[in-house]
Structure 1
């Protein structure tokens, strides 16, 4: 299962950049074209030429093509499609490119698990087939684990790791898409204002946005938006991220999931303004992975690995502590029980106290204090005792100097 990488995203970003520049330059021509038919004709010609150029772009720069040039039929594994697309385009693979990667990538069991996890991502949870496919995937993972052979454990670790990375990428993309639509909805109310200039500007922006969406859809965005059409909402994807993290933990390979979650600072920032249900799902993932953080390290770990783990803990706290302070307590029921919340508070304190005292602890506790203070709806997590201990230690350090 091929992970989303900067190389696979590059053509999309390049097309976006060129499209944005083109439509920005088109604004003056748009107003003039409304007055002169010749300019209107020229403008349509320019737009057609530009769209034709975008369509040729992948062939002009093969290295930037979003799919592997030697294996086009594998593209369904990199981008989620709607059922109608997968039904017609799917070609079974029996070679080593089955998506698991590494030495286990050529095995049938690795390809089977990869395919099952891909389908779990793609179909809606409301489908009667969803539980069937997820149950099959869970059975394969558990049976590989029970067998105890290193080759099967490596299949689990490799395939699950790739699936976690892909699902996390889809979750972030869906959260970005939802945030964009929310902003569009908020800005849409201003079009009926009294200022004629603002009204005309909004009309132009709306037209540009529409054209941009048409171009973007034609060159790949429809594949990402297929997530929503196929039922892969952000909340569903967050639940699957948690499930995959739990499976990775059972296989003794959760550190990679912790690292990826700790680095997902953009998603963490989007989560602060997300819908309460999505916030609750992300809190559950964070709570589970913070528990895994506590068990990372030990006396037998080398110094270099300890330093890496300390940096991961720091990223984890800086990224997700604000959400814990600001997230809703739950729409219908509490996201975490009282016992779970108390346990997580202790874990957070222990994790903070493993950081470098003067610098890193101050950054984390300052961040906590800000979000804890300015969130009127929650008094959790309560890290006052940890903050007081840091103040005492900092005071003693100053006096020693």
Structure 2
């Protein structure tokens, strides 16, 4: 329904209607990005809590006065306590598993919606709003590294669209935004699952993204290039993927650095 209304607004071509489209999409993009971050935070937080569970009852008993001696007389109690705690832990793990699955489904739905919004913002000439917000989404970028592969796939597609827009002819993007986007989101390209049976990005799309990264890097100060390329090299050398390959950008930065030294 939202798609139809926005398309009708765009067909009329009136500036007020286009402004409504852009404002609504920018607001929805910000809200959905935040919801996706929260969903990934809860999903991965549940896993961490479950993995960090431990047998606290034994430590409590041993901490009591003369606890070392008491333990030999309360073996039966410890067996009972262990059985009870095991039952509780199993129920909790099952509940955590259910909650984790729900959060993953929610995150996938939100990521899919965010991809749609990104494409619409680009179509309506307001992708700069998404670029600004994406450049501040360091928390989302961090959680996306260990997100479900389906969620990762959508986030990779979003990032690929925005990376290509960094060097769009119709946009003037500040160096700070370029730097933050490259710094926060390049690791995802290195470490995300690119899909085997159904690749997330086509070969042509990957080439376009590499070209956009190289062009965006070339507009940054040498110090910023050093930070981005150093981090990229560390990720690239340990990643299973051979993309993005920024060897040309790295060589160019090395050559320019030598000229400064000499």
TM-score category by the smaller chain? Answer: 0.7 to 0.9
Q: Measure the CA separation in 2 of the matches of 1:236 and 1:245.
A: 14
- Deviation, 1:389, is 0.7
- Deviation, 1:271, is 1.3
Correspondence for 2:77: none
Distance 1:174 1:161, change over 3 A: same
Unpaired stretches in structure 1, ≥5 consecutive residues: 1-135, 208-224, 299-305
Correspondence for 2:9: 144
Q: Measure the CA separation in 2 of the matches of 1:297 and 1:200.
A: 70
- Deviation, 1:232, is 5.8
Correspondence for 1:397: 260
Q: 2:158 aligns with which of 281, 285, 290?
A: 285
Correspondence for 1:197: 59
CA RMSD of aligned residues (A): 2.7
Give the TM-score normalised by the residue count of structure 2: 0.80
Q: How many corresponding residue pairs?
A: 229
Correspondence for 2:138: 265
Unpaired stretches in structure 2, ≥5 consecutive residues: 64-80, 86-98
Q: Measure the CA separation in 1 of the matches of 2:223 and 2:131.
A: 23
Is the contact between residue 272 and residue 327 of structure 1 (CA under 8 Å) also seen in structure 2? yes
Is the contact between residue 238 and residue 278 of structure 1 (CA under 8 Å) also seen in structure 2? yes
Q: Which moved more, 1:323-332 or 1:177-186?
A: 323-332
Distance 1:274 1:331, change over 3 A: farther
5 Å-filtered alignment, 1:2-401, equals 136-188=1-53, 190-191=54-55, 196-197=58-59, 228=102, 233-295=106-168, 309-330=174-195, 332-356=197-221, 358-375=222-239, 377-399=240-262
Correspondence for 2:66: none
Deviations 1:252-276 (A, max 9, x none): 1110111101110011011112222
- Deviation, 1:347, is 1.0
Higher relative contact order (CA 8 A, sep 6+): 2
